């Protein structure tokens, strides 16, 4: 009668899990036979193989006795489950919470994730997550058995087996092979294509298969395009500033100041037998007029280097202004088209 009731309960829980996809089951028992039977029945019915289905077992059975129960380690290590071992023999009531890591030996000690006492309440030995994500990466690099199906872009072939030089092993190229290679690297396991622990697919969904396997979220690859209209052509009102960047303008002003300073310095460093020079004797103000594209003033300069520097400055300004005019005409001839989407 107990086995019949257990089967009915697990069948009802399986229907609830299929409907909600996220179920937490709590089992309270101090009977080792019942826990072993529950572990075997839940494993055969695939009740707990979906990661979002969680199991929490409360028991007074000591940990070393739990490790000897048949089917319990297989169920707890491959599901998102915890075991809370209650110890009420001590003066201080205490409960330890354990998690069985996947693909470990039945004799290996489980991972303690938390403990509870009346005084300290719930304390965590690991990051504060009662159900740790133990399937993200395996610590001991286990070997799992997988399968796949052949179709147009996925072909099965044999390669040399590195563990047995005279033997061959089956592998797949295409989507299944690529997915398995990425999973084995990220999750830290090795694999062999045979009858199976799991499969990367593609496996079509049907009712019969759903009784024996649990489907994960789909792996889907597709090409999507985001289409948007171009902006309307428009003239940039600040377009006259585009040909020359701010650094070019600053460099031109600095050059002007340096040239004027050099002119004044040279004019005041003449031999002593000559009369004292003045500002009107130099071409200093003509440098500014050349920069502003204005007529220069004729001066009675007494030094040849004065006229040479003015000529060099005029040549530099011709190159700079002609470059500016040409770039400005090009920019104003082409209208600016705004793009509506420039970032995510």
pLDDT tens across 140-173, in order?
A: 888 888 877 776 667 777 777 766 666 777 777 7
pLDDT band at 245 (very low <50, low <70, confident <90, very high): confident
User: For the chain, where are the E strands, in sequence order?
Assistant: 24-28, 54-59, 80-87, 94-99, 111-117, 121-124, 143-146, 155-161, 164-173, 190-193, 233-234, 336-337
Q: What is the pTM of this model?
A: 0.52
Distance CA 23, CA 15 (A): 11
Which of 82, 171, 80, 97 is CA-nearest to residue 133?
A: 80
Whether 101 has a pLDDT exceeding 80, the answer reads: yes
pLDDT band at 257 (very low <50, low <70, confident <90, very high): confident
Domain ranges for the chain: 2-124, 143-210, 233-337
pLDDT tens across 4-54, in order?
A: 888 889 888 888 888 887 788 999 999 999 999 999 998 888 888 777 889
Distance CA 237, CA 127 (A): 58
The answer to whether the CB of 328 falls within 8 A of the CB of 228 is: no
Distance CA 268, CA 262 (A): 10
Distance CA 171, CA 159 (A): 7
Q: Is the dihedral of CA 240, 245, 247, 253 positive or negative?
A: negative
In this predicted structure, what is the pLDDT of residue 61? 94
Distance CA 229, CA 340 (A): 8
Sheet holding 121-124, edge to edge: 24-28, 54-59, 80-87, 94-99, 111-117, 121-124
3 state SS for 183-241: HHHHHCCEEEECCCCECCCCCCCCHHHHCCCCCCCCCCCCCCCCCCCCCCEECCCCHHH
For tokens 């304390």, name the residue.
123
Backbone angles phi, psi at 215, to 5 degrees: -85, 140
Mean pLDDT across 96-123: 89
């Amino acid at each position: 009668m107990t086995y019949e009731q257990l089967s009915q309960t697990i069948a009802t829980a399986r229907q609830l899990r299929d409907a909600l996809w996220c179920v937490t089951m709590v089992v309270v028992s101090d009977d080792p036979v019942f826990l072993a039977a529950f572990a075997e029945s839940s494993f055969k019915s695939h009740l707990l193989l979906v990661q979002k289905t969680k199991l929490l077992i409360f028991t007074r059975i000591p940990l070393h006795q739990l490790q000897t129960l048949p089917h319990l380690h297989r169920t707890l290590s491959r599901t998102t489950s915890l075991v809370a071992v209650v110890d009420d023999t001590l003066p201080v009531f205490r409960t330890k919470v354990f998690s069985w890591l996947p693909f470990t030996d039945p004799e290996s000690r489980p991972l303690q994730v938390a403990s509870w006492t009346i005084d300290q309440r719930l304390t965590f030995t690991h990051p504060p997550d009662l159900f740790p994500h133990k399937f993200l990466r395996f610590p001991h690099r286990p070997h799992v058995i997988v399968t796949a199906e052949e179709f147009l872009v996925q072909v099965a072939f044999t390669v040399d087996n590195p563990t047995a030089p005279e033997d061959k092993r089956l592998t797949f190229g295409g989507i299944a092979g690529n997915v398995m290679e990425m999973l084995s690297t990220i999750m830290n396991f090795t694999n062999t294509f045979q009858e199976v622990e799991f499969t990367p697919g593609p496996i079509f969904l049907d009712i019969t298969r759903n009784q024996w396997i649990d489907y994960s979220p789909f792996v889907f690859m597709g090409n999507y395009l985001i289409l948007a209209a171009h902006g309307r052509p428009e003239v940039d009102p600040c377009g006259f500033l585009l040909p020359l960047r701010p650094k070019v303008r600053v460099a031109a002003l600095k050059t002007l100041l340096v040239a004027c300073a050099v002119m004044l310095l040279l004019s005041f460093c003449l031999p002593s037998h000559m009369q004292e020079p003045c500002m009107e004797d130099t071409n200093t103000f003509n440098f500014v007029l050349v920069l502003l594209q204005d007529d220069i003033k004729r001066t009675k300069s007494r030094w040849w280097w004065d006229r040479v520097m003015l000529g060099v400055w005029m040549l530099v300004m011709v190159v700079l202004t002609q470059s500016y005019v040409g770039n400005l005409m090009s920019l104003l001839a082409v209208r600016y088209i705004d793009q509506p989407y420039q970032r995510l």
